[in-house]
């Protein structure tokens, strides 16, 4: 097999996805079950301490624990039906939703888990929005059918409304709560009978063909008739499953089950293998002879390339190294390979590269598109960086930074620590733990966040990791917009008009700071040719 066709074969058998859900819907439980009956190859840490991640408060210990957990279980890789499945973890707390958005740029599909009693909840809606923007295919799992929950038709209706796309039921529940009888698999035309118990494997459940209608009716009585009726209504109202529409993010296959009982979970894992897409092409900018042209990189292109979508501080505060997580976009990673950061053209010499891919004991560490590699770094790598083997000069686009909605001024208590503060802020900014803005007119640095907890984490980390005691003070800003203009003259005119409102972020991008929602409107009216961006994509 030629190298390219070998790479293509490896790419075809990969599925990289994340679970999106509201806290408590059952993400952790489902993750555990997926790992249980697939051969987990590598788990960067066990799935544990779920209480800590769920109830993160402003308690420092909780924050530390949360950081630890998200480092530990960032990537899980499993082997199922000869496929390599990468499951990327997303932080649970809403204040870290920016991190979650970035993780979603590194996956090829998403599994939405819904608590059947609560329907689509607030946090899920925001995550759906991000998937929709990127047309990420979404599979839906309606969980906790063993409880007293809502009518399945009702849930489908809500999912359709929230997702803005039709649902296609793949399984259908018979009864619920105490009367939960099982699920009908529409594809195989068989019913799998529910039994409670957390250690049950899929093959332990009894399966009966729908052709035995009389026996099923006799056994499940009224629930059977109701299920058939509602299933008919649901399938009558929904389109047939169309793989192309699903891949384009235009319909979602829906599964019912009970995560904690490992029931209906295998159907979802099968769907990930059979329906979800393998890694696809990615857009990049190719830098050639001083010119930038767009280039679409294929996952089986021969050169190695990838994007840093997450930078995570080590748990040990005495070591200031961090782990950069790279989603491989093309080629093949092999240990000892040279890695180059495109932005700086510097070669990386990581002391250790973790791959989550060793499938055998003898550690054949290699990674292909869709896989994640992590390496330790002492700086010089930031979110959105493109890493290659040095044989091409390209930069991936698409890692989003959202305009902060909360701002604080950083006041250093001991001015002799200014240098350390600058370093600390630069590094925390690179990690994406917070956004750091330097006002053009000088003065104290500004911190911008999407969630309040981010400030507390940064203040705490500045103290413990950089020995900088800082006070955070409120400031009048309530939003920011990144600025661009078609000509330098227009940009200059704008800058001259609002010198006190301008600041530069960690990537040196110019932003306009606002004190009210009207600000942007007024500034836009005054300068119609200036572009105000609520989102910056790393370029």
Closer residue to ligand G4P in complex, CB, 27/310:
27
Closer residue to ligand G4P in complex, CB, 258/459:
258
Minimum gap (Å) between residue 130 Cβ and ligand G4P: 18
How many whole angstroms separate alpha carbon 485 and alpha carbon 510? Answer: 11
Minimum gap (Å) between residue 183 Cβ and ligand G4P: 12
Q: Which residue has the tokens 């019913």?
A: 191
DSSP string, 106-153: T-SEEEEEEETTTBS-HHHHHHHHHHHHHT--EEEEEE-TTSS---HH
Residue 146 assigned as binding residue: yes
Closer residue to ligand G4P in complex, CB, 266/406:
266
Helix/strand/coil for 408: strand
How many whole angstroms separate alpha carbon 25 and alpha carbon 30? Answer: 10
Are the C-beta atoms of 261 and 31 separated by less than 8 Å? no
Minimum gap (Å) between residue 86 Cβ and ligand G4P: 19
Residue 90 assigned as binding residue: yes
Closer residue to ligand G4P in complex, CB, 20/410:
20
Residue 21 assigned as binding residue: yes
Closer residue to ligand G4P in complex, CB, 260/502:
260
How many whole angstroms separate alpha carbon 301 and alpha carbon 329? Answer: 9
Residue 89 assigned as binding residue: yes
Are the C-beta atoms of 14 and 279 separated by less than 8 Å? yes
Minimum gap (Å) between residue 285 Cβ and ligand G4P: 37
Helix/strand/coil for 11: helix
Minimum gap (Å) between residue 258 Cβ and ligand G4P: 3
Closer residue to ligand G4P in complex, CB, 28/435:
28
Residue 410's DSSP bridge partners are 472
Residue 108 assigned as binding residue: no
Binding site for ligand G4P (CB under 6 A): 21, 23-29, 50, 54, 143-144, 146-147, 258-261
Q: What is the token pair recorded at 393?
A: 């000069």
Sheet holding 394-396, edge to edge: 291-297, 282-288, 394-396
Residue 145 assigned as binding residue: yes
Minimum gap (Å) between residue 229 Cβ and ligand G4P: 24
Residue 319 assigned as binding residue: no
Are the C-beta atoms of 17 and 278 separated by less than 8 Å? no
Is the sign of the CA dihedral 511, 515, 518, 519 positive or negative?
Answer: negative
Residue 28 assigned as binding residue: yes
Closer residue to ligand G4P in complex, CB, 21/454:
21
Minimum gap (Å) between residue 192 Cβ and ligand G4P: 15
Q: Which residues are annotated as a binding site?
A: 21-28, 89-93, 143-146
Name the binding residues for GTP: 21-28, 89-93, 143-146
């Amino acid at each position: 097999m030629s190298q390219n066709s070998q790479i293509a074969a490896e790419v075809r058998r990969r599925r990289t996805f994340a679970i999106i859900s509201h806290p408590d819907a059952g993400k952790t439980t489902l993750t555990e079950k997926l790992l249980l009956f697939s051969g987990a190859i590598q788990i960067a840490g066990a799935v544990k301490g779920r209480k800590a991640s769920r109830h993160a408060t402003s308690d420092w210990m909780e924050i530390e624990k949360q950081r630890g957990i998200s480092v530990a279980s960032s990537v899980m890789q499993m082997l199922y039906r000869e496929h390599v499945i990468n499951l990327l973890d997303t932080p649970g707390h809403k204040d870290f939703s920016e991190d979650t958005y970035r993780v979603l740029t590194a996956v090829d599909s998403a599994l939405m888990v819904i608590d059947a009693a609560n329907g689509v909840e607030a946090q899920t809606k925001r995550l759906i929005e991000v998937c929709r923007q990127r047309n990420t295919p979404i599979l839906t799992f309606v969980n906790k059918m063993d409880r007293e929950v809502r009518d399945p038709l009702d849930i489908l209706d809500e999912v359709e409304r929230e997702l803005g796309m039709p649902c296609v039921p793949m399984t259908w529940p018979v009864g619920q709560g105490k009367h939960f009888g099982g699920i009908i698999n529409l594809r195989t035309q068989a019913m799998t009978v529910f039994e409670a118990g957390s250690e049950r494997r899929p093959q332990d459940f009894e399966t009966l063909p729908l052709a035995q209608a009389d026996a099923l009716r006799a056994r499940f009585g009224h629930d059977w008739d109701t299920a058939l009726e509602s299933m008919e209504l649901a399938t009558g109202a929904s389109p047939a499953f169309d793989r192309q529409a699903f891949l384009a993010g235009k319909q979602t296959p829906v599964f019912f089950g009970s995560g904690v009982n490992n029931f209906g979970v295998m159907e979802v894992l099968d769907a990930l293998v059979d329906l979800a897409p393998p890694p696809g092409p990615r857009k990049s900018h190719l830098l050639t002879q001083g010119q930038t042209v767009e280039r679409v990189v294929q996952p089986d292109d021969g050169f190695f390339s990838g994007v840093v979508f997450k930078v995570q501080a080590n748990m040990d505060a005495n070591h200031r190294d961090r782990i950069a997580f790279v989603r491989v976009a093309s080629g093949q990673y092999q240990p000892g390979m040279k890695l180059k950061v495109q932005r700086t053209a510097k070669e990386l010499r990581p002391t250790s590269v973790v791959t989550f891919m060793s499938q055998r004991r003898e550690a054949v560490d290699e990674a292909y598109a869709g896989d994640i590699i992590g390496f330790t770094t002492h700086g010089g790598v930031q979110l959105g960086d493109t890493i290659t083997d040095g044989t091409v000069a390209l930069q991936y686009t698409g890692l989003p930074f959202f305009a902060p909605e909360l701002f604080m001024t950083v006041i250093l208590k001991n001015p002799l620590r200014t240098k350390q503060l600058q370093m600390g802020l630069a590094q925390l900014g690179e990690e994406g733990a917070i956004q750091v803005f330097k006002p053009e007119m000088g003065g104290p640095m500004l911190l911008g966040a999407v969630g309040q907890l981010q400030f507390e984490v940064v203040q705490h980390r500045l103290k413990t990791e950089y020995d900088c005691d800082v006070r955070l003070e409120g400031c009048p800003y309530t939003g920011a917009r990144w600025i661009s203009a078609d000509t330098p003259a227009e940009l200059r005119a704008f800058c001259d008009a609002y010198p006190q409102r301008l600041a530069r972020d960690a990537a040196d991008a110019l932003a306009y700071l606002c004190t009210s929602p009207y600000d942007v409107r007024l500034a836009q009216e005054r300068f119609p040719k200036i572009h105000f961006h609520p989102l910056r994509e790393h370029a």
